[in-house]
Homo-oligomer: A and B are copies of this chain.
């Protein structure tokens, strides 16, 4: 019999994993990848360009090398790794660092209260409308959502039959990150996004900057009170997990009401595997909802399928979007 000997390695690594998150967050915050997207830099130049003091500079940049975000050549010049260059350069439309900035500003500090949230079952978070009263929080959240939208956009753009539909409205659209990518990829699509009224200026300025003001417009409202706008396709992504089951099913019913016959609903989320055995990201996202929201939780494709069928959607199908996220498509 061959039994591999026990080692504490994996536990130690899990316990220190937060340091790697923070090194990535600081690199995004300091603009390391945006600077290096302009060209390689030696240690001193990079240090000066991003405003890092001498003491920790070499360890910091070499840690980013070891994390495979940067590369360092034999002459000691740092350059972006290919993933970092594509996704973490603020000047590129593929930038997803907004999500990391939001995790850094809000997620990381809030997670200090995980034990308390587990003991009490209560979140420390306010509703979005309360949070949006603070402009800096509004910006952090909406840019974070744009980062999140860019992560799923390539999958949603390519794995849905957009040629069969003409209009789309993204529910909880934030800055409109997702409809912009759909409009960019599919020239016949028009529509826009629905979100709370304070988000309007963020949406309109982002959509204008991306050049889609003629095709995408903002619908202000509160989906807890108001009906949803109508379109051939509605998208509800990373929204349902914020709410308790009654609100989840109410929103699915409202989406069904708003769609024309033959219209489609796309729900995307960091889905938990049906057996609840393997998808750590989905289960940890659900604990994030425990910390951040009054009644939210993440769920499996099986859970969602039950709720969508209850709301009278049929012909449900699942498509994987990233290593963590999937979408379920239903037809009215």
Interface residues of A (CB under 8 A from B): 6-26, 29-30, 51-60, 62-63, 65-69, 72, 82-84, 86-88, 96, 99-100, 103, 107-109, 111-112, 114-115, 117-122, 150-151, 272, 276-281, 283-284, 286-288, 290, 297-298, 322-324
Contact = CB atoms under 8 A, between A and B. Distances in A.
Given A17-B17, A26-B118, A283-B63, A322 B84 contact: no
B22 A18 contact: yes
A8 B53 contact: no
Chain A contact residues, majority secondary structure: helix
Nearest to A148: B12
B111 A6 contact: no
Contacts of A122: 53, 55
B115 A30 contact: yes
A26 B322 contact: no
Contacts of A19: 107, 111, 284, 287-288
A29 B115 contact: yes
Complex copy number for this chain: 2
A22 B278 CA distance: 18
Given A26-B115, A65-B276, A56 B21 contact: no
A218 B209 CA distance: 68
Nearest to A277: B65
A53 B120 contact: yes
Contacts of A120: 53
A66 B12 CA distance: 17
A8 B59 contact: no
Contact of A108 (B6, B18, B72): B18
A16 B112 contact: no
Contacts of A8: 83, 87, 96, 150-151, 322
